Structure 1
Amino acid sequence: MALRPLDNALPTTPERPKKQVKVAVTIQKQSDLGVNDENKAPLPPPVDATIDYISSENLKALPDPETKIHGLVEGLESKDWTKVCESLNNARRFALYHSPLLLPILEKVLLVLVKAMKNPRSALIKTAIMASSDIFNAFGDSLLDSTTSDAFDHLLLQLLLKASQDKRFVCEEADRALKIMVGSMTPLPLVKKLRAYVSHSNPRIRAKAAISISHCVSKMGLEGMNEFGLVSLVQMAADVLNDRLPEAREAARSIVIKMYEVLTENEEQKQESWMSFCQSNLPPIHALSMVKIISSQ
């Protein structure tokens, strides 16, 4: 006999749907496929190749320099930055051992130095700064001639910028180059070049410029100070004395002390003479600061 289904049997539980599994799919961006994305931040520069930083003492004279000078500009303008570094080191050799051959293309070399210092590669920047030092030693005041003066102005600004940045080994090399620049040039025209930068919007640049000016002033006598303008010099020092950075203020104090020594060298009443000079040419509060600097020595 067939069995009848029970009317009150429990209904069969329906099968639950299977849980969906999420699969991660890597989607390659268009920018990764070589399509430019203007809104994407630029990638950092690739890691620098190994570059040897050769000290000036270890640079050798070039064999057959008359022939090699013709290829120097081409090498400096290369799109291969390692080739530019190599050419910069050759430019250093020309400056140290064959400077007459470099003189006709000196302006072009200076502009290459400026361009190299704007490059994001630290190795290229440092090599260019080292080349600047050797060129300062080799040519000195010749860099202020009409043919190279504008290029020198651009180079000076770049050195002040690089001396003001946070990358230590670049900053130290730029500081060294600025010191060599001051040591190789007549102080008066260099102070005139540097004067504009003590009013720069960047406080670090103001400080570096003030330090270089103080080094120049330390080499000046009364004749040079008079030619620049004693009043202009003391007013500049008074302005820098109120700067934000202590390095700038210390440089201003050095300028004041040197001016005091030069101006009062033949005076019997030295402090009284200095006080009279400051009070005649400065606002009272600035004149008082100048007198305090001398009194505190």
Structure 2
Amino acid sequence: MAGPVIAVTDSVFPTLDPAKAALARLNPTYRMAKSASADDILAVARDADALLITYAKITREIIGQLTKCKAIGRFGLGVDNIDLPAAKEKGIAVNYVPDYCIREVSDHTMALLLSLIRKVPLSNKLVQAGRWEMPAVVPIRRIEGTVLGLVGFGHIPRLVAPKAQTFRIKVIAYDPFAKAELFKAANVESVDFDTLLQRSDYVSVHAPLMAQTRGMMNADAFAKMKKGAYVVNTARGPLIDEPALIAALDAGQVGGAGLDVVATEPLAKDSPLLGRDNVIVSPHTAFYSIEALEELQSKCASDVARVLSGEKAVYPISA
């Protein structure tokens, strides 16, 4: 007996074998879209039973033309590329994987932060150019006793906290939705946003991208920070107002930035963020490890299989 039809809108993976293994019990048929354009998605998804998506935009217009879809599985942490209200109206279950790369992203956050503080990329650049000069990289502050402010206190920042505390960094966090017991258990002080900006030597952004958080790190926020404080972003590029960050870097108000995400990816070759010794940019790789991608595919596809089998998803999300 033929199983369900699974439409894959887009994929960045070398293979979808982990996802297919998780769906194997349903004996599905797969259709891969030629591109992530609306027309190409609909060509394979219009009468599909489920969608597996990565970065493709699943708009209200696309959802409105899905005739049999029961589940949309997102290979990722966020769901800002899916029109959730439209999916809910159509009775389509949406699932994601909120915990698949939390170890990797928290590690990458610390890697960017420590590299900024200790000026590792600049030191390497100088040595590679034949310059063995300590004066060229001073001053460098002692890490112990400094303050890290976490914007958001979800899965990832809750793993960043103990890693930072290992270096005897004081950790504070702003998250109006996190429960008091989470802060207490992590030995992290809960503060409001302005207090976090004013007290932190380093600000690491971990908020979800929503209308109210887009551009939250703006000129006003940078002005409230300690002069010379560092900013790290491993969450979503648009959380930071990039022109405001560039202006703050130029003025010396922000001492440096470690960015794994930017407002528009890939970063433009003429971006003012490039060519700065106090800015580190990695190409949206914080999530990556071989193990993380296998976990991501397996968890996402397993939930799609559950929904198609009439079971409850482990990681459902609703509008």
After TM superposition, the score normalised by the length of structure 1 is 0.29
Higher share in strand: 2
Higher RCO (Cα < 8 Å, 6 or more apart) = 2
Higher share in helix: 1
